[in-house]
Amino acid sequence: MLNDELSDLANFAAVADARSFTRAAAKLRKSQSALSQSVRGLEERLKLRLLTRTTRSVMPTPAGEQLLSTLRPALGETSCDLEILRIFLEESIGDKAFGRLDNPKSMNSRSSPSLNLPEFRFSTTPRSDLAA
């Protein structure tokens, strides 16, 4: 359920920033109707109107602006954290694919304990199991 809530909040912020369901849907690679249902569901759960909709535009209401003022920094930090994690995992996977696992019993000496990933090091020693 929390994942749905976070997704709905991110969808709301995207629509508010784009001032359009169509542009936000294109940016998020979602259908316009799915995005509209997501935002409407969020509004119903909060019992607040977050967006004023007209045939030509979408604008945040005062309640929507208030939510956005706290939501934008949180979404920005989350996006940054996820990007750092993605880069970390890509580097770890790359090292695993092209290097060797130096010490499989030494877990998490340099990584976050919550990730529970082994330490990888790049090996400059040629691998005999790879065909030339």
CA dist list (Å): 110 to 2, 51, 83, 84 = 30, 45, 18, 14
pLDDT of res. 1:
60
User: For residue 65, is pLDDT > 90?
Assistant: yes
- How confident is the model over 14-37, as a mean pLDDT? 93
Q: Tell me the whole-structure pTM to 2 decimals.
A: 0.59
> Which sign does the torsion angle of CA 88, 6, 71, 10 carry?
positive
C-alpha 95/C-alpha 80 separation (Å) is 23
Q: Work out the mean pLDDT of the chain and round it to a whole number.
A: 76
- How confident is the model over 103-131, as a mean pLDDT? 49
Question: Of 32-36, 44-48, 81-85, which gets the smallest average pLDDT?
Answer: 81-85
The residue among 43 and 77 whose pLDDT is bigger is 43
Query: Which residue stretches of the chain are H helix?
Result: 2-18, 21-28, 32-46, 62-98
User: For residue 97, is pLDDT > 70?
Assistant: no
Q: What pairs with residue 60 in β-bridges? A: 51
Question: Of 24-28, 65-69, 112-116, 118-122, which gets the smallest average pLDDT?
Answer: 112-116
Read off the pLDDT band of 83 (50, 70, 90): confident
The arrangement of secondary structure in 2-82, i.e. its CATH architecture, is Orthogonal Bundle (1.10)
